[in-house]
A and B are shown apart, each in its own frame.
Chain A
């Protein structure tokens, strides 16, 4: 950790970054994001296994964007998110300094996104077999039972949009859910709008979601959103062999195609 703190302090001292996004321990002992602008604040920095939150989401918050150069401590999910954001033209050149700590506790400062690409390729995230099992169980139910399950889950959605706020890939300045000309998503919090909202969100995240499952973590109503993200991710991989957050280039499931994509469902 000392090595990391020194690095952050060094970046701030030399004006290589004007703000550094990392973690610290809150008063209640919980880990929360930290925004250091001066070297003498860095003593608060915390990094450990509990520091799970995906900090990439802060990169496009206006409060951060006003700084000319930003540093960020990125765990593997944040790295994937940042790479995806870069591919989606959301990160200007020479704007971010990205730091990570590898499995041997070595601090790495990435020179560019190509380095991140190869780092990610070497550090594949293991598939969570438990979640896959949950999904398979759901799929083995009858359709009606699945419907009942989701109606129950989604009916508790209060459309607080915490899932959107925490998602590093939800950066549209005006989300479709806010449009009322026409009204794509029904406003009242009855389940119709909830279904529309979550279907739309998943469609928009297909092959862009890097499955950090932050949305599921922050949902105040404990809706198992990770089931949706995991499902859509495994679908993308199975159907099209594509995984988000792996490449610097922009070719994802829904903006490319193969002439021989399967179509046995089309009559």
Chain B
């Protein structure tokens, strides 16, 4: 027999002025199953809470309805009160008399009646509530960091320094990401490599970090605290345990003309290579797509012959390893559009129209020109250079509505670097707006304009074509009444849009995380949970979420790391038990439910006879993965799935109680 207590709160005047709370409490006394009811000025206040606790004990209540504000506001408060009085917290429900009644209706008999009906509805529900207990799941205190750019590096170091293990997976032969390609960095113009390299080395040497380069995530199963990741270690064809990194092989490799990814295609590299001098690890891999040995059935093999440590191993195979991890941080960074994306700028056919990343390589002391700004076509130093911002970005016609955020800044940096290196040269920047939000960013741009005399033109460039060895840049100056501008440039740099990695969609699917319309990974909440994803235990940092600069990437990385450390500070996780479960006896194993679960929480379970033979298969819900949406509950035809907190019985009783007291006879 239920003994429900009803506690009607006036919330000062908030409810009391519109709803006759004493009357509601009086009516509630007559609802079937109600053993006690009372109204009080402020239920959430200390005396209010004490009143509830005492009533629970004194009247031996089996359930509580607090009729007050929205449960979204105070449900945790009152559940805690119930628990303190020795009642299971999940035997407490709230009727929303404030947001859904007193605040939206006028003072009237019908408003009080509605309040009473809301109370009755929750009384009917709470009678069917069952005690629930938080779910505990163990935590594996190892983090998987996917992507070894600056964001991944920072995340890995922060987690490792707080005493937890980290496994880092980087798909290219070296960690470092885009930052390793940059010359100098805004807003301070310090050398990118100089601040990055020490951290790369720290990652490689940290006792808590295991680094897998030339590796990719194959699959991820499990749930927060308990993931199983399968990692594919691509065959390097070089045994790194014996290689001493002397570099003889790369020097002797007869294939030399492969466009160099690190130099953004502006240089070439051999088939056996270390991507750049400061690479970590500083040992080569063989690019099998371009190696003669692999392309021509064992011909060549020169490197094998000359390697002093006999490290070359053509027979190596891709290897798969499986690791247990408790959390995952995705830091796979971004990509940029190439010059071939722009018909109006010649589809990439003009050699001297380059991307910002290529300019970084030209300006870098370790780049193909050793830091001298020389144009790709003939190696001449350009005397007149044009930078174009928003190339692709903020252009709905090109399918990219957003601002890529970093281009304004790096183009200002480029123009400055150019002026510092070519004193006689002329630099112009075409822009739509200058977006220089950030500490000392605006000052940085002003320095480019004022000290380095960069010519800023507000307007779009409509076309570029070649004429007599010059690039004719045609645009308008919107600050001068759209006056046409034409510049005869020697070189043009496009601040092309930052975009998601081409494989980001498939990675998101492996991780079961969501992504936005541009394929950047989606954060759980744009403001309040910017480093988490909607999948518990998987975080984001860096430019894989959206194009961002180094300071933002690093702060997000530290944020993600602290989320991971917080998770790892517990031995067990507690989760709300409002999740679904299957009735094995009636489940017929059609597994329709499996395909509707957004969290892939539904598994197949074999029901076996004593002799071990399988009698039938039924659905089983993994309590670690289920988030309690209930989509499967409403789908299952035989109603073999039910859900805590919103069970068939509970919602049925709520609906049937609403208008017709006799409808309770149907329950």
Contacts and interface: CB of A to CB of B under 8 A. Distances in A.
Asked if A and B touch directly (CB within 8 angstroms), the answer is yes
Contacts of B638: 172-176
A89 B617 contact: yes
Interface in B512-553: none
B592 A252 contact: yes
B635 interface: yes
Interface in A142-195: 171-176, 179, 181-184, 186
Q: Pick the most buried of A90, A176, A255: most chain B CB atoms within 10 A of its CB.
A: A255
Interface in B613-667: 617, 635, 637-640, 648-649, 652-653, 666-667
Interface of B: 585-586, 588-593, 595-596, 617, 635, 637-640, 648-649, 652-653, 666-667
A181 B650 CA distance: 10
A88 B588 CA distance: 10
Contacts of B666: 182-183, 186
Given A89-B617, A174-B586, A255-B596, A184 B591 contact: no
Given A90-B588, A256-B595, 8 more contacts: A89-B590, A89-B591, A90-B589, A174-B586, A174-B638, A184-B639, A186-B666, A255-B593
A254 interface: yes
A61 interface: no
25 contacts: A88-B590, A88-B592, A89-B591, A90-B590, A171-B588, A172-B586, A172-B588, A172-B638, A173-B585, A174-B586, A176-B638, A181-B649, A182-B652, A182-B653, A184-B639, A184-B652, A186-B666, A250-B592, A252-B592, A254-B592, A255-B592, A255-B593, A255-B595, A255-B596, A255-B635
Contact of B667 (A88, A183, A252): A183
B290 to A, nearest CB: 40
A95 to B, nearest CB: 12
A88 B592 CA distance: 7
Contacts of A204: 637
Task: Pick the 7 closest A-B CB pairs, nearest first.
Answer: A182-B652, A172-B638, A174-B586, A88-B590, A204-B637, A255-B595, A255-B592
A61 B653 CA distance: 35
A237 interface: no
B590 A173 contact: no
A170 to B, nearest CB: 9
A3 B379 CA distance: 84
A111 to B, nearest CB: 24
A262 to B, nearest CB: 20
Nearest to B632: A255
Interface in A183-223: 183-184, 186, 204
B653 A173 contact: no
Nearest to A183: B666
Contact of B639 (A179, A250, A255): A179
Contacts of A251: 595
Contacts of A184: 639, 652
B603 to A, nearest CB: 13
A216 B584 CA distance: 32
A256 B595 CA distance: 7
Nearest to B596: A255
A181 to B, nearest CB: 7
Contact of B635 (A172, A174, A254): A254
A182 B638 CA distance: 13
A184 B636 CA distance: 14
Nearest to A171: B588
Nearest to A181: B649
A52 B649 CA distance: 42
Interface of A: 88-90, 171-176, 179, 181-184, 186, 204, 250-252, 254-256
B421 to A, nearest CB: 50
B595 A176 contact: no
Q: Pick the most buried of B592, B635, B637, B667: most chain A CB atoms within 10 A of its CB.
A: B637
Nearest to B665: A183
A250 B589 contact: no
A176 B588 CA distance: 13
A88 B635 CA distance: 14
Q: Pick the most buried of A182, A184, A256: most chain B CB atoms within 10 A of its CB.
A: A182
A151 B342 CA distance: 65
A173 B637 CA distance: 11
Contacts of A182: 648-649, 652-653, 666-667
Nearest to A187: B666
Contacts of A173: 585-586, 588, 638
A140 to B, nearest CB: 32
Contacts of B588: 90, 171-173
Given A186-B666, A250-B595, A89 B637 contact: no
Nearest to A251: B595
Nearest to A186: B666
A43 B649 CA distance: 54
Contacts of B590: 88-90
A174 to B, nearest CB: 4
A255 B634 CA distance: 11
Contacts of A176: 637-639
Contacts of B635: 254-255
B20 to A, nearest CB: 33
Contacts of A181: 649
B618 to A, nearest CB: 10
Q: Pick the most buried of A88, A174, A179, A252: most chain B CB atoms within 10 A of its CB.
A: A174
Contacts of A252: 592
Nearest to B614: A92
B286 to A, nearest CB: 41
A121 B639 CA distance: 33
Nearest to B634: A254
Contacts of B637: 172, 176, 204
Nearest to B593: A255
A123 to B, nearest CB: 26
A251 B594 CA distance: 11
A174 B640 CA distance: 9
A89 B589 contact: yes
B594 to A, nearest CB: 8
Contacts of A183: 666-667
Contacts of B589: 89-90
Nearest to B591: A89
Contacts of B595: 250-251, 255-256
Contacts of A172: 586, 588, 637-638
A173 B649 CA distance: 20
B311 to A, nearest CB: 48
Q: Pick the most buried of B585, B638, B666: most chain A CB atoms within 10 A of its CB.
A: B638
A98 B617 CA distance: 23
B591 A250 contact: yes
Contacts of B586: 172-174
A6 B329 CA distance: 65
A179 B636 CA distance: 14
Contacts of B649: 181-182
B658 to A, nearest CB: 14
B192 to A, nearest CB: 41
A204 B590 CA distance: 12
B616 to A, nearest CB: 9
A249 B200 CA distance: 48
Nearest to A200: B637
Contacts of A175: 638
Contacts of A179: 639
Contacts of B596: 255
Nearest to A203: B637
A256 B596 CA distance: 7
A254 B596 CA distance: 9
B462 to A, nearest CB: 35
